[in-house]
Amino acid sequence: MAEKGLLLVLSGPSGVGKGTVKSAIVENKVFPFEYSVSMTTRKPRPGEVNGKDYYFVTQERFEQAINQGELLEYNQYVNNFYGTPLAPVKKMLNEGKDVLLEIDVNGAQKVREKMPDGVFIFLTPPDLHTLHLRLENRGTESEDVIMGRIKQARHEILVMQDYDYAVVNDTVANAVDHIKAIVDAEHVSVKRVIDTYRKMVRED
Amino acid sequence: MAEKGLLLVLSGPSGVGKGTVKSAIVENKVFPFEYSVSMTTRKPRPGEVNGKDYYFVTQERFEQAINQGELLEYNQYVNNFYGTPLAPVKKMLNEGKDVLLEIDVNGAQKVREKMPDGVFIFLTPPDLHTLHLRLENRGTESEDVIMGRIKQARHEILVMQDYDYAVVNDTVANAVDHIKAIVDAEHVSVKRVIDTYRKMVRED
C-alpha cells in the first residue's frame, strides 16, 4: 500500500552533534531515506557538483525563491544563504520516500509551520539529561557554572517542547538506535496508515 | 531521571494472534515489562496460584470491585468474569515500570477512557493489509467472499482509528520488532519526558 513518506527533521542545540548522528545514519544505512539538496548562494568548492552537493544560485535567484515561497526554510551563515527547496521534498514524500533534514532549531521551527506532519526529533545534549546529578551534587562545581547551565537548560527545554521526540546524544550509537525506532514506529502509527486503509475499503 | 512507565495495550480483532505475540515478547525478553494479574470469578485450575496467575474471587467480590471502580476494564467470557485491577497498574507505572495488557477491543476501549496516556497498539490481520491485492485481482475469488471481507475490514478500520499504532501481524517476528520500536520511540517522546526535564530546572 502506498503511504506517504516521512519528513524526518533532525535538529537540536548548536554543537550537540547533529551532523555526526546524520553521518552515522548514512554510513550504516540504518534506514533508507532521500537527501534534500540545499540551495545556497555560496560559491562551489573544488569537486562540488551543482544539483548534487548544492544548488548553487545567485543572490538574486535566492531572493526570488524566498519571495515565491519555494523554500521550506532558509538561513544565513556568514554572508551566504542556505535553504531547503520545498518542491523536491514534497515530490519525494508523495512517492512514499522518507526525507531526512538535518537543520538548526530556527530552520526546524519554520519547517514545523509549513509541514506540521513532519517527525521532529530534538537531539538533546547529554549534560542536560544528567543535569539533575550535578544539581544533587552541588559543591563539586562552582555555583556560577551550574547556574549558567540551568539557564541554558531552560532555553533548551523551551525549544524541545515543540518537538515530537527528545533523543539524548550520549553516544552516537544510542542516538541512532533511538532514531531508527522512531522511524519504524512512525511508519506504523495509525494517523499515518489509516487513510490508506480507508481508501482501500471505499473502492467497491 | 524517574519517568512514569508506559501502559502498553495490545489488542486487535478476535483470532488475530494477540496471545502469540505477547508470548513471543515474554519468551524473547524483547523489552522489560510488568504483568498485570487479572481478577476472575472462574475456579483455579490445578497448579494455578492465587495472586500470581489470577486473583481468584467470588462473584460478590467481583461485583464489589466493579461498583467501587477498582477495575480498569472487565469482561465476561462464558459464565466467568475477568478484570484488570487498577491499583497495581497505577503503582507499577508510578514506579517507572512499563505494563503490558493484552486484551480484547472492548476492554481496550474502556482502558482508553480511563487511561488515555496509554500506548494503544492494534494488531492488524495480515489479510486486511493485503486486501487491496485481492480487490485488484477480482475474479480469482467469489464476489461474496470479497464483499464479506470488505464489510469486516470496514469494521476493523473503524476500531483501529482510536488506536495509536497499527501493527500488521504478518509474522510474529515482524510484529514483535514493530512493538519493540514503538516502546523505544514512546520512551523518548517529548510528551513523556518533558515534565521530567521541566521539574529538573525548576529546583534552583
Q: Do A197 and B153 touch (CB under 8 A)?
A: yes
Q: Which fold has domain A36-97?
A: Guanylate Kinase phosphate binding domain (3.30.63)
Q: Do B178 and A186 touch (CB under 8 A)?
A: no
Q: What is the ipTM of this complex?
A: 0.88
Q: Report the share of chain B in percent with pLDDT over 90.
A: 64
Residue B189 C-alpha cell reads as: 517522546
First CA to last CA across chain A, in angstroms? 17
Chain B interface, best mutation among A195, A201, A202, A204, by max B CB count within 10 A? A201
Q: Do A201 and B147 touch (CB under 8 A)?
A: no
Q: Do A131 and B193 touch (CB under 8 A)?
A: no
The structural domains of chain B, with segments of one domain joined by +, span 1-33+98-204, 36-97
pLDDT (0 to 100) of residue B65 = 97
pLDDT band at A30 (very low <50, low <70, confident <90, very high): confident
- Over range B170-195, report the average pLDDT: 95
pLDDT (0 to 100) of residue A28 = 86
Question: Residue B203 pLDDT more than 70?
Answer: no
Please provide residue A182's backbone torsions phi and psi, each rounded to the nearest 5 degrees.
Answer: -60, -45
Question: Which residues are CB-contacts of B142 (< 8 A; sequence separation ≥ 6)?
Answer: none
Are A1-33+98-204 and A36-97 in the same CATH fold?
no
pLDDT (0 to 100) of residue A1 = 55
Residues on chain B bordering chain A, Cβ-to-Cβ distance under 8 angstroms:
1, 122, 128-129, 131-132, 135, 147, 150, 153-154, 157, 160-161, 163-168, 177-178, 180-182, 184-186, 188-190, 193-194, 197-198, 200-201, 203-204
pLDDT in tens, B95-137: 999 999 999 999 999 999 999 999 999 999 888 877 777 777 7
What secondary structure letter does DSSP report for A112?
Answer: H
Question: Residue B16 pLDDT more than 50?
Answer: yes
* Residue B133 identity: L
Question: Residue A39 pLDDT more than 50?
Answer: yes
pLDDT (0 to 100) of residue A204 = 45
pLDDT band at B42 (very low <50, low <70, confident <90, very high): very high
- Over range A62-82, report the average pLDDT: 94
pLDDT (0 to 100) of residue B1 = 55
- Selecting from A122, A150, A193 the residue whose C-beta is nearest the C-beta of B204 gives A150
pLDDT (0 to 100) of residue B162 = 95
pLDDT in tens, A119-155: 999 999 888 877 777 777 777 778 888 888 888 888 8
Average pLDDT over chain B, rounded to an integer? 91
What secondary structure letter does DSSP report for B188?
Answer: T
Question: Which residues are CB-contacts of B192 (< 8 A; sequence separation ≥ 6)?
Answer: B3, B4, B6, B186
Q: Is B78 annotated as a binding residue?
A: no
pLDDT in tens, B62-81: 999 999 999 999 998 889 99
Is the Cβ–Cβ distance between B5 and B95 less than 8 Å? yes
Provide the CB-side half-sphere exposure for A180 (13 A, CA).
Answer: 17
Is the Cβ–Cβ distance between B55 and B39 less than 8 Å? yes
Second-level CATH architecture of B1-33+98-204? 3-Layer(aba) Sandwich (3.40)
Q: How far is A83 from chain B (nearest CA, A)?
A: 27
Chain B interface, best mutation among A178, A197, A199, A203, by max B CB count within 10 A? A197
| Residues B52, B53, B55: CA angle, nearest 5 degrees | 75
H-helix or E-strand spanning residue A122: strand A119-124
Q: How far, in Å, CA of A70 to CA of A105, rounded?
A: 20
pLDDT band at B5 (very low <50, low <70, confident <90, very high): very high
